[in-house]
Amino acid sequence: MPQMSKRLVSVTPAGRTGWEVHFLAEARRAAGADVIMCSIGDHDFPTPEPSVEACVAAVRAGHHHYTGLAGRSDLLAAMARASQRSTGVATTVDNVIATVGGQGALFAAVQAASDPGDHAIVVGPYYATYPGTFSLSGVDHTVVEARAEDDFQPERAALEAALRPGTRLILINSPNNPTGAVYARQTLEAIAAFCRDNDLWLVSDEVYWTHTGAAGRHLSPLALPDMEERTLVVNSVSKSHAMTGWRVGWLRGPAPVIRRLAGFNLVVTYGIGDFVSRAVAEALDNDWGVAEVTATYERRRAMMIEALAQLDGVVVRGSCGGIYVMLDVRAIEADGERFALQLLEAENVAVMPGESFGRAATGHVRISLCQPDPVLAEAAARIARFITNHGSLRKRAAGGTS
Ligand SMILES: Cc1ncc(COP(=O)(O)O)c(C=O)c1O
């Protein structure tokens, strides 16, 4: 076999990734153990019925054909309206392009904003696909770690320190996966000023925009002064409309960039599915299921935080929005992966080690809320028991009394 490209090889991370815990848990489950999977971020419930029915009707009506490269015009119009609702910034069909999920929009944004050999800044903890998105694009990146003690809000000084002559963009994600942090207005203003002062693109991953929790209405940096010309907003129906498997997302940006990105779709996907596009357009315009999905995660987040907040030795960090709870376990275990493996062994609960999402989340674990309420309550009880036992085991090992 001839040699594979270095870019392709670089997408698969070398060494440990944190997924080991998840795969081990799956193996235990397959062998019959009663394992609760709180490791991944996919809804435990199906897509809302009206969206499913709209898709079935579109298939039956014979909508089986190619769509426009940027997306069907009704889908783009629905995406533009959704963008306007989420960001508060006037948006037309000329500002949006349909992509294969938010991930497709992320990849498109990096292609649009940087060339091979350029440099990007990523705020960590970050979504696990970010490093591969840059390496497949031939773009070098520096992770700027937002500190747990600052509730994972990045600081401008740290961004400045990461700047290089070839830096072209910064990638942020709020509400954040894995931390659940929702960036405060001051944080976004500082990031926006940093972009303006250094003539950078801001790629803003807002796929969790309906999951803002106590932070209230979503704030997009697109809405900040003079940011429209340099902001590319990544969005999708995966998390908001419970449509992860439909693989539909979009990028919102300046019209000249969006026009060019039709050429990107030409060679990468040749557009997205016809009947899927029609159903997603309706789902977006009617916001089918959005209120219920949002309320479900609000309820689950509150339940999980309440179960964990009073325990000695752990601190809930971030976890304002999103669909995860981030637990700082450093006081009882410095290594999040070791904690996750021990938790799996002792209590059959799978969580993701914070280390999978960058150094800033070392000694943390991410607990996904994607399990039915009673299952999640059982997971919370098991995690609490493990932490309580862990503490007393350590005290005993150190010669304590309990
Ligand atoms: C922060 C973040 N961005 C983007 C995505 C990609 O979402 P999708 O491609 O399903 O729209 C995800 C999925 O988990 C995510 O967590």
What count of other Cβ atoms lies within 10 Å of the Cβ of residue 233?
A: 27
Mean pLDDT value across residues 100-127: 97
Q: Is any atom of ligand 1 closer than 6 Å to the C-beta of 205?
A: yes
- Is the pLDDT at 77 greater than 80, yes or no? yes
Residue 49: alpha-carbon gap to chain centroid? 25
The partner residues of 70 in beta bridges, in order of sequence, read none
Amino acid at 361: A
pLDDT tens, position by position, 38-59: 999 999 999 999 999 999 999 9
Q: Is any atom of ligand 1 closer than 6 Å to the C-beta of 368?
A: no
**What mean pLDDT, rounded, does the chain reach?**
94
- Is the pLDDT at 162 greater than 50, yes or no? yes
d(CA 76, CA 336): 42
CATH number for 64-286 (one of 3.30.420.340, 3.10.20.30, 3.40.1190.20, 3.40.640.10): it is: 3.40.640.10
**What pTM was computed for the model?**
0.95
Please identify, by atom number, the ligand 1 atom nearest to the C-alpha of residue 104: 9
Q: How confident is the model at residue 402 (pLDDT cuts 50, 70, 90)?
A: very low
Label the pairing between strands 201-205 and 231-236. parallel
Q: Is any atom of ligand 1 closer than 6 Å to the C-beta of 101?
A: yes
User: Could you state, in order of their start, the residue ranges of all structural domains in the chain?
Assistant: 6-46+290-386, 64-286
The domain covering 6-46+290-386 belongs, at the CATH homologous superfamily level, to Aspartate Aminotransferase, domain 1 (3.90.1150.10)
Q: Is the peptide bond before 178 cis (omega within 30 degrees of 0)?
A: yes
Angle (CA) 119-125-130 rounded to 5° is 45
Q: Is any atom of ligand 1 closer than 6 Å to the C-beta of 102?
A: yes
- Is the pLDDT at 399 greater than 60, yes or no? no
pLDDT at 12: 82
Q: Is any atom of ligand 1 closer than 6 Å to the C-beta of 236?
A: yes
Q: How far is CA 226 from CA 88, 204, 222, 223, 242, in A?
A: 14, 15, 8, 8, 33
3-state helix/strand/coil string of 62-86: CCCCCCCCCCCHHHHHHHHHHHHHH
Rounded distance from Cα 261 to ligand 1 centre (Å) = 20
Q: Is any atom of ligand 1 closer than 6 Å to the C-beta of 41?
A: yes
Q: Could you tell me which of 88, 83, 119 has the C-alpha nearest to residue 232?
A: 83
Rounded distance from Cα 103 to ligand 1 centre (Å) = 6
d(CA 80, CA 146): 31
Q: How confident is the model at residue 390 (pLDDT cuts 50, 70, 90)?
A: confident
pLDDT at 148: 92
Q: Where are the beta strands (DSSP E) in 151-216?
A: 167-173, 201-205
- Is the pLDDT at 18 greater than 60, yes or no? yes
Closest residue (by CA) to atom 7 of ligand 1? Answer: 102
Q: How confident is the model at residue 19 (pLDDT cuts 50, 70, 90)?
A: confident
Are the beta carbons of 170 and 203 closer than 8 angstroms? yes
Are the beta carbons of 335 and 119 closer than 8 angstroms? no
Label the pairing between strands 119-124 and 167-173. parallel
- Is the pLDDT at 261 greater than 70, yes or no? yes
- Is the pLDDT at 395 greater than 80, yes or no? no
Rounded distance from Cα 106 to ligand 1 centre (Å) = 9
pLDDT tens, position by position, 206-225: 999 999 998 999 999 999 99
Mean pLDDT value across residues 8-29: 85
